Amino acid sequence: MQYFVALKMGEKRVKQAQELLSTFLPDNTPALPALALKDNKSNSWEPVGEENYFAVVKEEQGFLIVICDKNGIAKSIANWFSEEAATAIKNRIKEREHIHEYFGKVSLPV
């Protein structure tokens, strides 16, 4: 796929994931865009996947909430939450949207 075609498709999916994630976050907490293209070892360009999963990632600063594709490539992220706040967001996602949780390694923007 051509770079710009893949990028436009990926950007559209990132925007949709960002809008989805923002519906679960506390007021004034932004859902940030993440990765629009899959990171692969070849010279072919692929957009991030269309499907939505969520993940909770623990880091030193706290917890990240991520909307990712089936391969764990982050499309949208929100940070930094306490464990209690992250659990509350996770429960809202499960209850309202029935999005499955991703348990593998999440690819985050550097």
Q: Per-residue pLDDT tens for 33-47?
A: 999 999 777 778 999
pLDDT of residue 1 exceeding 90, the answer is: no
Inform me whether the pLDDT recorded for 13 exceeds 90. yes
Q: What was the pLDDT predicted at 5?
A: 94
pLDDT at 54 > cutoff 90: yes
d(CA 31, CA 25): 8
At 97, the pLDDT band (50, 70, 90 cuts) reads: confident
Dmax (CA) for the chain in angstroms is: 43
Q: Helices in 23-100 by DSSP H: which ranges?
A: 83-96
Predicted confidence (pLDDT) at residue 89 exceeds the cutoff of 90: yes
Domain boundaries, the chain: 3-96
CB atoms within 10 A of CB 36: 20
Q: How far, in Å, CA of 68 to CA of 89, rounded?
A: 15
Average per-residue pLDDT for the chain: 93
Q: What amino acid is encoded at 12 in this protein? A: K
Q: What percent of the chain has pLDDT above 90?
A: 81
| Mean local confidence (pLDDT), 61-73 | 96
Whole-model pTM: value is 0.92
Number of neighbouring beta carbons within 10 Å of residue 29:
16
